[in-house]
Structure 1
């Protein structure tokens, strides 16, 4: 199965946003800069995440995006479905009913073995994605890579996070 680049971008943006203060927001342009991707392409995915309730859009000059709910309540499956849609990856077109001298329709009342196997595999795939949360992925302390990523993102967040003006 091939997922779009938008899935990777969305997951990494969710990870970045999980590091914001509760009242903080990050502009789409800053996230695009950080990840080296097109702002317009990223915006499409951020809007899909917001439409699914995974992100909240904060309007105004101190606005941007923040998580729509706690990072421990957002699974990888939530992100994938928001970007790719909820339909199954495999779509049976009933190829077995085409061609010369097709079988009688009574043989097509149930899904064929190919469809059944593909749907089982997709259920397993979705079950695994459902088990992993953004919160789990956001914290990878104790490794050289984890520490390097944390250092880079912390510095970027400090520079680009938008917060409401003090009362």
Structure 2
């Protein structure tokens, strides 16, 4: 009987030790930093407003990134609403080429090489047209496509990102419209 009791205690002690060691082991890190982050300076815009979207590419590889291409386009819902009117006004940042001026979509190439852990940023501004139809459930949404090469061009990654590009197109309240018209 004693032997059986000591066996149980030994097994319990072993299991308790394993559980304690697992709790002391460093936990797995949260999801790795994504190579692309997208932010907007506002959650909603009215006709006549300018919206700034910032795209930030971070090299998440252990070697230099030699080529980085990104495009930005309206989502299906935005492209199917012809009454939503907007146009890109400018593109600035760490790019060698940016083709968006006067368009509703565009593309850019980032300055390279991008060292491991380093970032490149592009700022896009677009203006909501004064005669854009805005209101409940109307949104100007974009998605971005990112493609980049690393390891001497031997490896590549790509993907679509739509986080941070969803802007409600709200109707300007009457008093605000009157104030704008008076200035």
Q: Structure 2 length as normaliser, TM-score?
A: 0.21
| Rg (Cα) greater in structure | 2
1 or 2 for the larger relative contact order (CA 8 Å, sep ≥6)?
Answer: 1
- If each structure's strand is expressed as a fraction of its own residues, which one has the higher value? 2
- If each structure's helix is expressed as a fraction of its own residues, which one has the higher value? 1
